[in-house]
């Protein structure tokens, strides 16, 4: 799911930090279990924040001595009003370095076990959406297009799940989650 340069003169994007002074961050991959089928929750970030206007998982920077899991749950509580006591953390996905913001992001997967209403923080979230996990596993919504990213032509894979495409780091994280869960949810 990583964008790849079309022109051979352009090197692929770097997914490794140049040094150790990146910020540790985490996101929550919230899987809703109380509906008819499993759904994954995403936020549409407000245009005024880092990576604004993009679909993402709730998350942000680690504070103090909190664990990566505590960071993901705190950020989800701040961004969408998640009740952490109803989130069953299953584990972590592979950390991903996001060079644009100099963050090493660790995705934390959690089952949301109790029905709850989400309330978006208008300073960070324009919209909260949920998508059935089955839509990702089927690959029917997976598209690749040619885009210019910072004036460089790339082939960009994305999921067409919203009027804003799910691409980049969040799509890469979601892709790993789909591969891990695919054998459990095949028809």
The answer to whether residues 46 and 125 touch, using CB atoms and an 8 Å cutoff, is: yes
Q: Region of 64 please: left (phi>0), alpha (psi -120 to 50) or beta.
A: left
The answer to whether residues 123 and 46 touch, using CB atoms and an 8 Å cutoff, is: yes
**What's the CA gap between 186 and 40, in Å, rounded?**
17
**What's the CA gap between 86 and 175, in Å, rounded?**
25
**What's the CA gap between 126 and 19, in Å, rounded?**
33
| pLDDT (0 to 100) of residue 11 | 56
* Percent of the chain clearing pLDDT 90 (strictly above): 66
**What's the CA gap between 15 and 136, in Å, rounded?**
23
Range with the poorest average pLDDT among 41-55, 73-87, 115-129, 165-179: 41-55
Residue 68 has pLDDT above 90, yes or no: yes
**Structure confidence by residue, pLDDT tens digits, 29-43:** 999 999 999 999 999
| pLDDT (0 to 100) of residue 152 | 81
Contacts of 53 (CB under 8 A, 6+ apart): 44, 45, 46, 47, 164
Residue 44 has pLDDT above 90, yes or no: yes
**What's the CA gap between 166 and 159, in Å, rounded?**
5
Domain 4-184 has CATH 3.90.79.10: yes
**Structure confidence by residue, pLDDT tens digits, 114-158:** 999 999 999 999 999 999 999 999 888 999 999 887 788 889 999
Residue 173 has pLDDT above 90, yes or no: yes
Residue 181 has pLDDT above 80, yes or no: yes
**What's the CA gap between 94 and 152, in Å, rounded?**
27
Total length of the chain? 187
| pLDDT (0 to 100) of residue 56 | 95
| pLDDT (0 to 100) of residue 15 | 59
């Amino acid at each position: 799911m990583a964008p790849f340069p079309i022109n051979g003169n352009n090197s692929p994007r770097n997914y490794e930090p140049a040094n150790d002074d990146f910020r540790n961050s985490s996101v929550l991959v919230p899987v809703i279990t109380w509906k008819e089928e499993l759904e994954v929750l995403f936020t549409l970030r407000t245009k005024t924040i880092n990576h604004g206007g993009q679909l993402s998982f709730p998350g942000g920077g680690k504070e103090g001595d909190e664990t990566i899991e505590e960071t993901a749950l705190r950020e989800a509580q701040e961004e969408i009003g998640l009740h952490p006591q109803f989130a069953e953390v299953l584990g972590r996905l592979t950390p991903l370095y996001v060079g644009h913001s100099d963050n090493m992001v660790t995705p934390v997967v959690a089952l949301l076990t109790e029905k709850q209403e989400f309330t978006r923080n208008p300073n960070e979230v324009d919209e909260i959406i949920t998508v059935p996990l089955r839509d990702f596993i089927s690959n029917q919504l997976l598209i690749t297009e040619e885009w210019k990213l910072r004036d460089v032509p790339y082939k960009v894979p994305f999921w067409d799940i919203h009027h804003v495409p799910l691409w980049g780091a969040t799509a890469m994280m979601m892709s790993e989650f789909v591969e891990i869960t695919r054998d459990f949810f095949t028809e």
